[in-house]
Structure 1
Amino acid sequence: MLGAWARAAALCLRSGRCVAASRACRRTGHGTQAHAPLARERIPIMELSEDFFASQFFNAQFFDAQLPALQALGFSLQHHLPALQAMDLPAGATPAQPWRLIELQRDGHARLQSPAGLRAARALPGLIQVLHAQGEQLAVGDWLLARENAQGELWAEARLPPFNSLSRRDPEGFRQALVNNVDLALLVMGLDHDFKLARLDRYLVLTHAAELPALLVLSKADLCPDLERRLAEVRAHLGRQLGTSVLEVLALDGQPESCRAALHPWLGRGQTLVLLGSSGAGKSTLSNALCAEDGRQQLTGAVRLDDSRGRHTTTTRSLRASVAGACIIDTPGLRSLQLDADVAAVRAAFDDVSELAQHCRFRNCSHSGEPGCAVVGQLSAARVKSFHKLQREAERDQQSPLDRRHQLSQWKAMVQSSRMATKLKRG
């Protein structure tokens, strides 16, 4: 429960300026204070963004009547309902409705879906500011509380906290949310010339960091002349992860009937699945095969014959309903996937390496040829190499800029010393 002072402060936050002319601000004295950051206003930002906005504008009667339809859109009773039930709903409050964010453009325009239908909307600047202060941002899959203004425009005023989030780092090192509130990741890889197991390892670290189960979908199976050998190679590479973090490996040919039949156990009503993969892997083809004819068919493009790479035919992330009732999020091809994960997530994705490493003779064994190494020879060289690369990347991302600069200077000194030693040896 929040007091009148908190409500007044939240109104100021939502509007992006101090609304001292409001009755609540005058009564509590908030309007006479400097509009300082909320960290100095003795109200947690999280409390305002998640509890107050929802309690102020949420309509419980509407929610109770529309609960089955909301569940069909992916609303989670386990994660979202308890937070809503604990909120204080003042009588006479202007109602807001829960909407799911199904498409988000770069300019901030969005499309929201609810049992009432599909609407164009935007987020209030105050909500964006709150999320930015928390180091977060809106993403497809979010649940928002929105209402119309006097002009009939739909504005999102609050976001329900997501129960998980898939994110990566952009080239500048900032976190970029890919999707939120997802139950299963479909890792789509084409069985053509662009097939790389190292890319699969990178995606698995991404899903491990989000504590998200994955399903490996090998597309273009009809174009692979040695399908059984390739499947055996993938299963051997996954090792113990198959059946745990990776639920199954499926080879699909892109035909709607066969795709729906193979994925039927995971396409339950209200389940949210995200398609992840590089350009040209067949994500949009799979999305079109799974989803109903709703006028929103994703474009598909050809791939280059020399390297099987494709162009970006999907330019925005979007959520659609499958024929079976699941929610499918198609994403643009990820040309670069800089990890947003710590070393623990990398080791969890390579738990076979971590377990074998406990039996190495040396505690700081790097598994690169030391005597008594229990890893080398037990796992494929490609998997060990991928583990080293991703672990170094995660360690580097956890360093401060000063530490990175210091490490770079050390490497330069080592290289220069090695060159000098070689020159002296050659005379």
Structure 2
Amino acid sequence: MIDPALLRENPEAVKQSQIARGSSPDTVDAAIAAEASRREALTAFEELRAEQNAFGKTVAKASKEDKPALVAQAKELAGRVKEAQAAATEAEQAYRAAVDRIENVVLDGVPVGGEENFVTLREVGEIPSFDFTPRDHLELGEMLGAIDMERGAKVSGSRFYFLKGVGARLELALMNYALATALENDFTPMITPTLVRPEVMAGTGFLGEHSDEIYHLGEDDLYLVGTSEVALAGYHQDEILTFPESGSVKYAGWSTCYRREAGSHGKDTRGIIRVHQFNKLEMFVYCDPAQAEQEHERLLALEERMLSSLGLAYRVIDVAAGDLGSSAARKYDTEAWVPTQGAYRELTSTSNCTTYQARRLDIRHRPEEGGRTQPVATLNGTLATTRWIVALLETHQQADGSVVVPAPLRPYLGGLEVLEPIR
């Protein structure tokens, strides 16, 4: 939810943000009208309730002869108060629904437009070249006995897979390396639930226009998460946080993630680039809103450190407003070079959600002792995920189908330096 004060005091800024996202600015006018109706309904209820309280004192002091008539009037007034209260509640709900349709206000400098309007901030590393025809990650994975798509489809359907042998070990090595990196930077490790309540999923902003991407268990009314960001955001729902001396509360959530990939028919059908289930280590930060942009740069730096240390060529893009998702005020994607596609593909992203999620989930802090509470800022960033295996296999492959293990992963693979084909 956006800041109500910003909506009242500077609606044009909110409208411009909506336009930059490619969304209708009419949602802003609708929210302003809904707030006016809410204020009017609340005022009417409070005035009637005050009248009821005053009238109650009159009834209490009335004589025995006058009391029956006054009691009848009090009942009639009580009915009006009840109706006014219901109207105020309805107006509050309508206001909340109207405000929830407004996406987070984008930060200054975020590119305007849709998916193709991103801005490349930098390209890092040397794009790999080969003196042989490189194999794609699936062919390499099958040669190594690491990936089995055929049996994944047999067991679970399209876009499912088995990682086995060195494939399973490689993913665990990658995730453990990411976890070690998080621990070095004072993140508290978390293994999170992968099923969450509707209010948590909605609070993080994932039940908007992309809700068709989410698996829903109707009988239980629970949602399967597509990122541990959701559970980590809900972890402090309805709480007042106290920040440590470092100024932020930081978690690293390891979880299996699920996405329906609705609308991706025919896209990335080969291999494990776009799948329904994967593992991910997600960083999540709560901080004072004044520190949010600085924390965002820290998360991006950790993602880049991981990519560089594994010898992957990548670029960093500033994602355009129309491709941000409703909660993010700014998002940076880091995309690794995939040799057989001749293109950069997203491996990580990090988003500054400012106070948008915290307002919806009622997560606050007290900037000054004894002062009023204020919403915190929330940020997230991916430190490792299954898709990294695609870039790792293709980048570090050799002519015979073997793959060199990047040095930082070797301790997590029992010192293994090269993955050798088994056929």
TM over 0.5: no
Which structure has the larger Rg?
2
TM-score category of the 2 structures, normalised to the smaller one: under 0.3
**TM-score scaled to structure 2, two decimals?**
0.22
**TM-score scaled to structure 1, two decimals?**
0.22
